[in-house]
Amino acid sequence: MSSLFPNYGRWPIRIVKGEGNYLWDEAGNPYLDFVSGIAVTSLGNVPPKVKAQVQEQLDTLWHCSNLFEIPIQEKLAEKLVSLTCGDRAFFCNSGAEANEAAIKLARRYTQKILQQNRYEIITFTQSFHGRTLATLTATGQAKVKEGFAPLPEGFTIVPYNDGEALAAAITDKTCAIMLEMVQGEGGVHPASPEFVEQIQTLCAEHNLLLIVDEVQTGIGRTGKWFAHQHYDIQPDIITMAKGLGSGFPIGAMIGKEKLAEAFGPGSHGTTFGGNPLACAAGLATLETIEEDDYLSRVNEMSAYLTGKLHELAAVHPEVVAVRGKGLLLGVELKIEAAPLVEKMRKERILLLQAGPNVLRLLPPFTIEKEEIDRAVQVLDSTLRLSAAATPSS
């Protein structure tokens, strides 16, 4: 019997090694990785340039309290600010913590700086923002909330891509709108340009902060540094994690200069956030993406993979739609996704689902066309076998 809590629905594989685009189990079997640790290992497993900088950091400093100035933390903050429309950075350990910080900052800025008694944040159905009490309450999926009552007040959830419902939900207690540009966990649904434009207009009209959750979509995953850069908007707060550290636990919140006063000394903190090892991994990850022009590669491989998936959709009536951005792609099916994920895994291709009937593909930026061909060929044969096994109506 395991000494771990059974809170994860684990696959029957013990992974012991990762390198490049592959993972190996303890029997030595290789698996082509279209999961990337759920959008984490974007440069492949154990990327050499990141490894080198982390090894160098291991020889100098592992941990330092945030009571001190930490040079590599400052460097990473400066780099992230240069890649966004923000001005200040706060580091933490995860996406949930980054979103928790964003929620706290939005409320504190509105109440302490604007001197207004507003605290409600609007989020959207099928969103996913984390598993702390506040972030799971913000999440627009009932399943993550079961058994955790009473939940914190102050969150209103409205239909995604529904501008009228959003406008109707704004009250004199609303302080912010929190949005994913592509709902990864919620079925790989991109926000429509019209919806995003209306959000920006409503934020301006009602003096609301715009929080964009880029935990899964950030750090190049959609072909730009951040998914909101596909749209003509400038969020007040941007959250990120997953791909930032190439597997080292790190999250970040980027905010506009006007918000800095709300997060003065003692207002918020973390023991391990901005850890030198994690910051070294983060800085090396960003530098590698920039120096090796991985954004261009994401767009190239996205076009290739999307094209192959559309070819698949043309011959498989079980495929309803192919959608997403960059290398965050979803294949919506008329059938359940879980059996297909399992069958693909037995063929040593790893991918995910996003909801009951959507396959989610998150290959690393280092993926090769030949590897895409292999994955799509296995998916093709898996769909054919599933169709043959399904009784006709």
pLDDT tens figures, 137-146: 999 999 999 9
Nearest residue to 170 (alpha-carbon basis) of 121, 113, 234, 98: 121
* Backbone φ/ψ region at 191: left (φ over 0), alpha (ψ -120 to 50), beta: beta
- 24 inside domain: no
- 94 inside domain: yes
What is the token pair recorded at 280? Answer: 């070294």
Looking at residue 1, its pLDDT comes to 87
Q: 3-state class of 58 per DSSP?
A: helix
CA–CA dist 53, 87 (Å, integer) = 26
- 248 inside domain: yes
Over residues 262-290, mean pLDDT: 97
Question: Over the stretch 186-239, which tens digit does the pLDDT of each residue have?
Answer: 999 999 999 999 999 999 999 999 999 999 999 999 999 999 999 989 999 999
Looking at residue 392, its pLDDT comes to 56
Binning pLDDT at 50, 70 and 90, where does residue 391 land? low
What is the token pair recorded at 292? Answer: 């090796």
Q: 3-state class of 353 per DSSP?
A: strand
Structural domain that includes position 141 = 70-291
CA–CA dist 254, 210 (Å, integer) = 12
Burial class (CB in 10 A: 0-12, 13-18, 19+), 81: middle
Nearest residue to 272 (alpha-carbon basis) of 68, 57, 73, 64: 64
User: Under 8 Å CB-to-CB from 2, ≥6 apart: which residues?
Assistant: none
Question: Over the stretch 50-64, which tens digit does the pLDDT of each residue have?
Answer: 999 999 999 999 999
- 351 inside domain: no
Nearest residue to 254 (alpha-carbon basis) of 236, 271, 273: 236
Over residues 91-97, mean pLDDT: 98
Looking at residue 90, its pLDDT comes to 98
CA–CA dist 83, 229 (Å, integer) = 10
Q: What sections of 207-275 are H helices per DSSP?
A: none
Count of domains observed in the chain? 1
CA–CA dist 212, 200 (Å, integer) = 11
CA–CA dist 86, 97 (Å, integer) = 18
CA–CA dist 162, 191 (Å, integer) = 10
CB 31 within 8 A of CB 350: yes
What is the token pair recorded at 302? Answer: 């996205």
Q: What sections of 145-293 are H helices per DSSP?
A: 163-169, 193-206, 276-291
CATH number of the domain where residue 249 is located: 3.40.640.10
Q: What sections of 131-268 are H helices per DSSP?
A: 133-138, 163-169, 193-206
Output Rg (C-alpha) for the chain, integer angstroms. Answer: 21
Burial class (CB in 10 A: 0-12, 13-18, 19+), 19: middle
What is the token pair recorded at 159? Answer: 């239909």
Looking at residue 290, its pLDDT comes to 98
What is the token pair recorded at 173? Answer: 């207690």
pLDDT at 287 over 80: yes
Neighbours of 315 (CB within 10 A): 10
Nearest residue to 219 (alpha-carbon basis) of 365, 37, 93, 103: 365
Average pLDDT, the chain: 97
* Backbone φ/ψ region at 236: left (φ over 0), alpha (ψ -120 to 50), beta: alpha
- 352 inside domain: no
- 193 inside domain: yes
Tell me the CA distances in angstroms from 243 to 26, 105, 250, one per residue in order: 26, 23, 9
Binning pLDDT at 50, 70 and 90, where does residue 291 land? very high
First-last CA distance in the chain? 44
- 75 inside domain: yes
Looking at residue 386, its pLDDT comes to 83
Over residues 323-347, mean pLDDT: 97
Side-chain half-sphere exposure of 42, counting CA atoms within 13 A:
33
pLDDT at 29 over 80: yes
